[in-house]
Chains A and B, each alone.
Chain A
Amino acid sequence: MEWIGFANYAVFMAIFICIYALLSLGLNIQWGFTGLFNAGIAGFFAVGAYTSAVLTSPAADGRLGGFDLPFWVGWIGAMVAAALIAWPIGKICLRFRSDYLAIATIGVAEIIRLVIKSEDWLTNSARGITDIPRPLGDLSYTMSQLAYLGIVMAILLVAYLMVERQIASPWGRMMRAIRDNEDAARAMGKDVPYRRLEAFIFGSALMGLGGALFAHFNRSITPEAIDPMVATFLVWIMLILGGSGNNRGAILGVAVVWIIWSLSEIVTDQFPHEYAVKAKYLRIFLIGLMLQLVLRFRPEGLLPEASGERKPVGKPSD
C-alpha cells in the first residue's frame, strides 16, 4: 500500500530531523550564543556514535568491548566522550579569535576520521560496529520506528528546554555579552576563555549525543556512514538558515534543510546513472550557494534571535 510506505518514510525523515536538531542545538550554543566556529561537527558526532556503539554492543572478538551495557549508559558515555575531546581543543584555542578554533576543529575531525578508519582494535575500522541495540527495537518494523521517533523527540524536547532555560538565565545573558562585546565583558570581570570553554563543551556533548542516537537508529556504524564535510556543512546551513541565536529557529532550519536535501536526493536518484553521480555534486554546490545567499540577504535567518530584554526564567514577573 502506497500510503504506508509514505508514512514509514515520513517517520524515517522525522527521526533524522530530530537527530540533526540535536546537532543544530549544540551548534547554536557554540555559534549562536557564544560565537564559536566549530567546523568539526562530524568529528564530535562520530565520537559519540562510536563511544555508544562500543559501550552497548554485545562482546565481539578483535576489538574493544562491546560491553553490552544498557543504551542510556552508552548515550551518557557518548556525551562525556565528546566533551572530553572538546576540552583540550577549547582549552588551547579559545584564548584566540574563533578562526583558530575553526582550523583546529577541522583538524580534530580529520584525526578522528583517521582513527576510526585505521584503528582495528577500537572501531573495527572499515567493517564498522554492528549489532548496536536499539531501545524497543524488537517490535515490528513500523512500531519500532515509531517508538524510536518517540524517544528521540523526547530527548530533543528535554535538550531544547534545558538549552532554552540555560540561555534565558544569567549565564546565557553573560554569554551573549561575551559574544557581542568581548572587551566589555572582560572589563566586567568575566572569565572569557573559561566561559567559552563551557559553551564549547556543552555544545559538543549534544553533538556526541546526536551521534549516539544515529548509531542506535541504524543499529550499526561504519566510517562511511556519514560524509564529514557534508554533514558538518548541513548543520551549519540549517542553523544559519533557521536563525542562529534562536533555538526554535535552529530546529526549524533543520526541518527545512533536511526536507529539501532528502527530496532533492529522491529527484536526482531518478536520473540515469552517469548524471546521478554529477547531480550529487550539484546538490552540494547548491547547498553551498544557499549559505552564501542566506549570509548575504537574510543573515538573521528565518526566525531571528529575540532582541531586548528576556523575561528571566524562574522569577515571577513583577
Chain B
Amino acid sequence: MGALEIINFYLVPGLVVGSIYALGAVGITLVFAILRYAHLAHGDLATLGAFLGLGLVTALGISPYLALTAVMALTAVVAVGIDRVFYDYLRERPKIVTVMASLGIALMVRAIVQMVWGVDSQTYTRGIVRPENWFGIRVRDRELITIVAMIVLVVALQLFLQRSKWGKAMRAMSDNPDLALLSGVDNGKVVTITWVIVGGLCAAAGLFLGLNFELKAMMGWSMLLPMFAAAILGGVGRVEGAVLGGLIVGVAEEMSTLFLPTEYKAATAFAILLLMLLVRPTGLLRGKVL
C-alpha cells in the first residue's frame, strides 16, 4: 500500500473525524477543568445540535453551513438552560452527583430527539459527493470545511481565553477556584459563559458529524468515549491538548482498521484512554488530574 492510499483512506478520514472529536473534547476539557466534573451528556447534546440543524435545514431550506451559527446559539441556550434547571442546584454537593445527573440528562435529551425526529437515520443533503483531487490527495469539500471550521473555532476560543477579561476569569477558575473567587471572579457568570461556549462547540461537533456521516439518535453517545479519550490524552484543561488528542484519536481509530475488524474501531479510543490513565494521567500536554 502506497503513501497516497494511506493518506486517502486513513489519514484524511481520521483527521476529519478527529476534528469533530476535537470540537467535542474541547468542551469536555473545559467542563472538566472549570466546573470539575465529567459531563456525560456531552455526546447527546451534540446529537441535539445536529438535529436542530436538520430542523433548520428542512424548515428554511438553507445549507447546513448557514445553519451552523444559529444551531450553535440555540444549543448554547439549551446548555445554559440545562445547567440552570438541573446542575446548578447540585453545585454544593459532591461533584460526582452532577456526573450522575448528567447521565440522566443524556438519556432525557436523547429521548427528546427520538420523540421529535424519530429513530431512522437521516441526512442533511441527498446524493453522493465526489471528492476533489488535490495532487492525488482526495478530499471532499465538506471534509475540508470541517477541518477549517474546527481550526477557526479553536483559534477564536484561544484568543477569547487569552485576551478577554472573561476568558481570563475562566482560566483562573480552572487553575485555582478558591483564589479566583477571592479575587472577585463572579462564579455564576463564569459557569454561564462556560456553558455558552461548551454548548456551541458541542453543536458544531454534532452538525459536522451529521454532515460527514448521517444523523442518528445514538450518534452523539457513541462519540462520548472518543471525546473523553481525546480530552484526557491531551491533558484535562488544555484546549490545544484536546485538539491534539481529538486528531490523534480520530487517526488512530481509522488506522486501527488496518489490524482490527472494523467493528472494534470504538475500542481504540478506550484503549488510548486506559493507556493514558496507566502511564501518564496528566496527558500529553500536562493537564490536571482530578
Contact = CB atoms under 8 A, between A and B. Distances in A.
A240 B100 contact: yes
A103 B38 contact: yes
Given A117-B263, A296-B89, A233 B107 contact: yes
Interface string B250-288: 000000000001011011011001100110010000000
B10 interface: no
Contacts of A282: 111, 115
Contacts of B38: 99-100, 102-103
Contacts of A108: 270
Contact of B37 (A89, A99, A289, A299): A99
B140 interface: no
A93 B232 CA distance: 13
Given A99-B38, A111-B266, A296-B89, A284 B101 contact: no
B290 A99 contact: yes
Given A103-B273, A104-B274, A285 B225 contact: no
A262 interface: no
A91 to B, nearest CB: 9
A317 B53 CA distance: 67
Given A107-B273, A233-B103, A99 B96 contact: yes
A118 B277 contact: no
A299 B93 contact: yes
Contact of B225 (A106, A117, A233): A106
A229 B107 contact: yes
Interface string A208-238: 0000000000000000000001100100110
A92 B99 contact: no
* Size bracket, chain A contacts: 35 or more
B119 A285 contact: no
A186 interface: no
Contacts of A281: 111-112, 114-115
Contact of B115 (A35, A104, A117, A285): A285
B99 A37 contact: yes
B89 A285 contact: no
B95 interface: yes
Interface string A93-114: 1011111101110111011001
Nearest to A296: B89
B104 interface: yes
B274 to A, nearest CB: 5
A111 B270 contact: yes
B72 interface: no
Contact of A289 (B90, B108, B221): B108
Residue from the set B108, B110, B263, B267 with the largest chain A CB neighbour count within 10 Å: B108
A118 to B, nearest CB: 4
A236 B103 contact: yes
A295 B278 contact: no
A278 interface: yes
B111 A93 contact: no
Contacts of A291: 100-101, 104
A171 to B, nearest CB: 22
A136 interface: no
Contacts of B261: 118
Given A96-B277, A100-B277, A284 B89 contact: no
Contacts of B101: 291-292, 295
Contacts of B23: none
Nearest to B88: A296
B198 interface: no
B228 interface: yes
Residue from the set B105, B269, B274 with the largest chain A CB neighbour count within 10 Å: B274
Interface string B205-228: 000000000000000011011001
Contact of B228 (A93, A103, A295): A103
Contacts of B40: 39, 102-103, 106
B42 to A, nearest CB: 11
A277 interface: yes
B108 A92 contact: no
Interface string B118-143: 01000000000000000000000000
Given A111-B270, A288-B105, A288-B107, 11 more contacts: A89-B274, A100-B38, A108-B270, A114-B264, A277-B119, A281-B115, A282-B111, A288-B108, A289-B108, A296-B89, A299-B93
10 shortest A-B CB distances, which residue pairs?
A288-B108, A99-B38, A285-B111, A107-B270, A291-B104, A288-B107, A288-B104, A281-B111, A281-B114, A284-B111
9 contacts: A92-B274, A96-B289, A99-B95, A104-B270, A107-B274, A111-B266, A111-B267, A281-B112, A284-B110
